Amino acid sequence: MTVSSDQELMLTERANHLVRQARLAAAVFTQYSQEKVDKIVRAMTAAAIENAGKMALLAHQETRMGVTEDKILKNLVASEFLYHQIKDKRTVGITREFPDLNMVEVAEPMGVIFALAPVTNPTSTVIFKSICCAKTRNTVIFSAHLMAAESSNFAAKIMYEAALEAGAPKGFITWVDKSSRLRRTSELLMHHPEVDLIFATGGQAMVKAAYSSGKPALGVGPGNTPVYVHKSANVASAAMDIIISKTFDNGTECPSEQTLVIDREISDEIIAEFKRLGCHVCSQEEVQKISALIVDPRNGGINYKLVGQPANLIADQAGLNITTPIKMLLCPLLGELRHHPLAIEKLMPVLGYVIVDSVNEGINKALDINYAGGTGHTAGIFCEDDNVIERYSEAINAGRIIVNSPASIGGLGGVYNHLNTTLSFGCGTGGGNITTDNVGIKNLINFKRVPRRRNYVISFQTTKNIYINPGSIDHLRNLKCQSAFIITSRSASRRGHLAMVTERLPQDCHVDVFADMGPEPDFATLQRVVESMRRSKPDTVIALGGGSVLDAAKIIRLFYDYPDLKISEVAVNFLDFHHRMIEFPKDMKTQLVAIPTTSGTGSEVTPFAVLKDGHRKISLIDECMLPDIAIIDANLTRSLPADITGDTAFDALTHALEALVSTFSSDYTDGLALEALRLIFESLPETLKNPNSIVHRHKLHNAATLAGMAIANASVGVNHALAHALGARFDIPHGRANAAFLLSTIEYNAQIPSKFVSVPCYPLWIADRKYARAAQFIGLKDDLQPGESEEIGRRRLVQKLRQAIYDLAKLANQALSVAELGIPLESYMAAIPELTETAFGDMSIRTNPRYALAPEVAQLFATAYPPRERPSI
C-alpha cells in the first residue's frame, strides 16, 4: 500500500466517523420536543454571547482580516439577534396551520448537514449555523477555511459543549480538524452518501464543488452591491450609513457597498461629507494605483491578500501619500463603467462611485454593477421617493435591496430591518442558488404539508320567482315592465301562445316581438336579435317557447346587457365550476321572463344555455343566466302534439335520472329528481291517453321544471354528452337523442366503473344504489331471495328500471336506439370517431358518476345503434 493510499484510507475513515456520529445524533434528534430544542438553542445562544469577544479575537488573530470589534458584533448578531427572531418559532411538529385551507405543515428535519464556514466570517457563521441546526433538529459537520480553521473549530466546540450540556444528542456538532488534508476531507464529506444537505457559505470554488456533489445544497453567490444615492436622500445620514457599512469588518461583508451611483444634484455635497467624515477621495492617478494593487490583471479578480485590510494599509501599498488615518478610499470610476477594473466586488474599504444626471441613468448604472458579477445578491438605495425605490427594486436583480440603511449590516438582517438574520445570503438563480432568502431555519426544514380533504361547498340556485299552476300566465298582468321584447317561435305564435302573452302585458308596456326563433339557432342568429333589441331598448325579455327559445333568450339577454362580451370567452370549458377561468357579469340589467311551452327542457330554472356551433353544441353556464321569473302554466302545453310531448318528457326523464346519479348530486337535487321521475311515470301515460287533461299536463309540466332545478344544480352526465353530439351531427331533437342512449347509459353507469371519477364532492360511487332507489321510488319492487346479496337485489332493480323506461318509451312511441331514429348505419358508424371526440369534450360528461374513457364512449355510441329489446332480468 502506498503512503498516499494510506492517507486516503485514513481520511475516509475520519470522514466516515464524523458522518456516523452525525447520523446517529440526527436519528436521536427526531425524538426531541419543541421545549427540549428551545432549551438547547437558548443555552447555545448564551454561550455564543458569553464567548463572542474571545471568538472574534481568535478569528482576527488567525485570519488577519477585518476588525475584532466588528467581528464581536457579527458574533452577537449571529446569536442574540438570531435568537430573538427564532425563539418563538415552531420547528417541531405542526409548524403552521391554515384553517381556511384545511391544511397544516409539519416539520421534518433534513438530517446530516455538512456546513462550510468562510474565512471572512469564521466564527459568526459557525454560531449562526449551529443554532439554526439545533432549532431545526439537524446535525452539522463543519468544515472551515484552512486559514480560519482554528477559530471556526473553536466556535464549533463552544457551541457543541453548550448544546450537549443542555441535552443535545451526542455528536450533534462535529468538525474537520485543521490539517493540510482538510480540503480533501471536505471533498469526501461533500460526496458522502450519509450527508443529506450541504450548507455552503464560502468562496465560489467551494460553493461550486458543493453544487457539483449531486446533493441538495444551499449555496451563496458572489456580490457586487450597487447603491443608488438619489437626490431626495438625506445626504449626511446616507454618508454616515455608507461609511458604517463599508468599513464594517474592513469591508469583508459581501452585501456591503461596492459602487455608489450618485445623482449630480447632491454629488458635491455627499463627497464633501465623506471627506469631512474622514474618507479619502482619490484622484484619477490614485485610482489607477489602487486598481493596479487590488485587481489581479490576469483574471480581473481582487487581490485576496488585501481582503479585510484597513484603508491606510491599502493606500500605503498602492503608493498613495496619505499620512492621516482614513476610514475608506473613494474612487471615482470615470469612463466606461462596464469596463472599469474597479467595477467589481472589493471586500475591503475601497468604494467606487459614479455621478449620474437622471433616475433613468442612475438605475442603468446600478444595473451595470449589479450584472457585473453580483446578480441576485444585494443592492442598496438612499432615497425618500417611493416611486424611485419601486422603479429601482423592479429593475435590480438582488435578493435584498436595502433602503436608507447600511447595506452590509442591513443585509445581515434583524438590526436595521426585519429581514431574517443570516450569515448566508441566497442569491437566487442570478447567483446560481435555489433561493434569494436570507437563509435560515426555514431553509433547513423539510416541510410536510398535510392537506385534509376539501370541504366541498355546493350551493343551490334556482329562478327566484316561479309561478305555477294552470292560469299562472296571468301574472304577466302585474309584470313591472315598460318595454318588453318577446322572443318566440313560429309554432308558439301559431298555437296562440304569443297572443296569450301580449294580451296580458300591462297596457302601457311597449312590445316588440321576434317570432322566428328556430330550433337550435347558431350565434349569428342570436346576434341579429340582439341588434334588433338595441333598437327597441327593452327592459324585459320574455322567452316563450321550448328549450331552444328559452336558451336563445338567455344568451340574447347576456349579449344585449353586455355588448363587449365575446362568445369565445364565455363558452370556455371547465373541469370544476369553482375553478373555472371565465368570469361572467355579476348582475343582469334586463329582466328575463321564461315561459316554457313544452314540458321537458327545464331551461326556465337552469343557468345553462346550449348553443349549436357547427357539428357540436357549446354550453354557457352561469348563475347570471338564470331567468328572473318562470311561469309554469300547463295551459300552454295543451295543444302540444303527442310526439313532442313524448320527446320532451323523455328529455325531462333523462334530466331526472342523470341529476340523480351525478357526482354533484345532493339531498336537495335527489328529492327533486326523484319526484320529477315519479311524476313523469305517473302523468306521461295519462297525458298520452288524454292529451287535453290539464291535470296530467300540469303534473308533467311540473316534472320538467323540477328536473330542471335538479340539473341546474347537479348537472347531467354522459347521456347528454352523447345526445348533444348526436343531435348536432344528425339534427336530432334533443329529447329524442337523449332517449336513444338512455338504456345504454343506465347499464353503463350502474356497473362498477373501470375508472372512478376524482372529485372531492363524490366520496363514494353509488350510481347503482341511486338507480335502485329510483326504481323503488316509482313503485318497482324486488324481494331478495334467501342467500342473495343486496347487490344482486340492486342489479335486479336497475334492470326493472330499464324495463319500465322501455315500456314507457314504447307507450310514447319513443325511439330507444339510434337505428330507430332513421340514421343509416354506414354514416353513423363512420361518424363515431367524430361523435366520440365531441362527446368526450362535452362538459356534461364531467359530472357523470363513472369516468367515461374515450373507448367506452365510442362503445356506447356503437351499442346504441341496434333496435332494442325489452331488458331482461
Partner 1 sequence: MAEPVKERKLEKIRILGDLERGLDEVDKKLARGNTDIEFDFSACPFISVDGLEWLEEFLLRADSLKSTVTFVNVQNPVYKVFKVAHIDSLMRACGAPNQESQGLSC
Q: What is the number of alpha carbons within 13 Å of residue 246 lying toward its C-beta?
A: 31
* CB nearer partner 1, residue 111 or residue 308: 111
Among 31, 180, 507, 872, binds partner 1 (CB under 8 A): 31
Q: How many chain residues are in contact with partner 1, going by CB under 8 A?
A: 13
Q: Tell me how far, at minimum, the Cβ of 799 lies from partner 1, in Å.
A: 45
* CB nearer partner 1, residue 24 or residue 766: 24
Q: Tell me how far, at minimum, the Cβ of 426 lies from partner 1, in Å.
A: 25
Q: Tell me how far, at minimum, the Cβ of 208 lies from partner 1, in Å.
A: 24
Render 96-159 in DSSP notation, one character per residue.
EEEGGGTEEEEEEE--EEEEEE-SSSTTHHHHHHHHHHHHTT-EEEEEE-GGGHHHHHHHHHHH
* CB nearer partner 1, residue 80 or residue 194: 194
* CB nearer partner 1, residue 24 or residue 146: 24
Name residues whose C-beta falls within 8 Å of residue 572's C-beta, 6 or more positions apart in sequence.
580, 581, 582
Name residues whose C-beta falls within 8 Å of residue 621's C-beta, 6 or more positions apart in sequence.
577, 607, 608, 843
The C-alpha cell of 237 is what? 445620514
Q: Residues 506, 554, 559, CA angle at the centre, nearest 5°?
A: 100
Give the chain's end-to-end CA distance (angstroms, integer). 86
Residues 101-120 that bind partner 1 (CB under 8 A): 111
The C-alpha cell of 547 is what? 328549450
Q: Tell me how far, at minimum, the Cβ of 106 lies from partner 1, in Å.
A: 13
Q: Tell me how far, at minimum, the Cβ of 452 lies from partner 1, in Å.
A: 21
Cβ density class 498-530: b for 16+ within 10 Å, e for less? bebbbeebeeebebebbbebebbbebebbeebb
- Strand duo 616-621 + 608-613: pairing: antiparallel
Q: Give φ, ψ of 338 to 5 degrees.
A: -65, -15
Helix or strand (DSSP H, E) at 330 = strand 329-332
List the beta bridge partners of residue 398: 376
* CB nearer partner 1, residue 194 or residue 675: 194
Q: Catalytic: 254?
A: yes
Among 6, 9, 10, 30, binds partner 1 (CB under 8 A): 30
* CB nearer partner 1, residue 112 or residue 798: 112
Q: Tell me how far, at minimum, the Cβ of 217 lies from partner 1, in Å.
A: 17
The C-alpha cell of 719 is what? 347521456
Is the distance from CB of 257 to CB of 327 less than 8 angstroms?
no
* SS3 assignment, position 831: helix
* CB nearer partner 1, residue 27 or residue 624: 27
* CB nearer partner 1, residue 193 or residue 297: 193
Q: Tell me how far, at minimum, the Cβ of 169 lies from partner 1, in Å.
A: 5
* CB nearer partner 1, residue 189 or residue 656: 189
* CB nearer partner 1, residue 112 or residue 533: 112
Q: Tell me how far, at minimum, the Cβ of 142 lies from partner 1, in Å.
A: 19
* Alpha-carbon gap, residue 201 to 206, rounded angstroms: 8
Q: Tell me how far, at minimum, the Cβ of 335 lies from partner 1, in Å.
A: 53
* CB nearer partner 1, residue 171 or residue 538: 171
Is the distance from CB of 403 to CB of 381 less than 8 angstroms?
yes
Q: Tell me how far, at minimum, the Cβ of 23 lies from partner 1, in Å.
A: 6
In the shown chain, the binding pattern of residues 9 to 28 toward partner 1, with x for contact by CB under 8 A and - for none, equals --------------xxxxxx
Is the distance from CB of 633 to CB of 698 less than 8 angstroms?
no
Give 222-257 as a 3 state SS string: CCCEEEEECCCCCHHHHHHHHHHHHHHHHHCCCCCE
Q: Does the protein bind partner 1 through residue 170 (CB under 8 A)?
A: yes
Q: Does the protein bind partner 1 through residue 180 (CB under 8 A)?
A: no
Q: Tell me how far, at minimum, the Cβ of 48 lies from partner 1, in Å.
A: 23
* CB nearer partner 1, residue 171 or residue 332: 171
* Alpha-carbon gap, residue 228 to 372, rounded angstroms: 16
Is the distance from CB of 196 to CB of 164 less than 8 angstroms?
no
Among 169, 222, 226, 352, binds partner 1 (CB under 8 A): 169
List the beta bridge partners of residue 632: 468
Is the distance from CB of 454 to CB of 760 less than 8 angstroms?
yes
Write the single-letter amino acid at 659: A
Q: Tell me how far, at minimum, the Cβ of 827 lies from partner 1, in Å.
A: 47
Count helices and strands (H / E) in the chain: 30, 23
Is the distance from CB of 39 to CB of 166 less than 8 angstroms?
yes
Residues 455-514 that bind partner 1 (CB under 8 A): none
Name residues whose C-beta falls within 8 Å of residue 443's C-beta, 6 or more positions apart in sequence.
218, 426, 435, 437
Q: Tell me how far, at minimum, the Cβ of 34 lies from partner 1, in Å.
A: 14
Q: Catalytic: which of 132, 133, 254, 427?
A: 254
Q: Give φ, ψ of 90 to 5 degrees.
A: -85, 130
Q: Does the protein bind partner 1 through residue 194 (CB under 8 A)?
A: yes
C-alpha distances out from residue 349 to 198, 551, 715, Å:
31, 77, 72
Residue showing cell 447600511: 406
* SS3 assignment, position 173: strand
* Alpha-carbon gap, residue 206 to 116, rounded angstroms: 8
Among 171, 251, 373, 414, binds partner 1 (CB under 8 A): 171
Render 721-790 in DSSP notation, one character per residue.
HHHHHHHHHHT--HHHHHHHHHHHHHHHHTSPPSSB---TT--S--HHHHHHHHHHHTT----PPTT--H
* CB nearer partner 1, residue 169 or residue 226: 169
Q: Residues 522, 516, 813, CA angle at the centre, nearest 5°?
A: 80
**Residue numbers at the binding site for partner 1 (CB under 8 A):** 23-28, 30-31, 111, 169-171, 194
Which active-site residues does the annotation give? 254
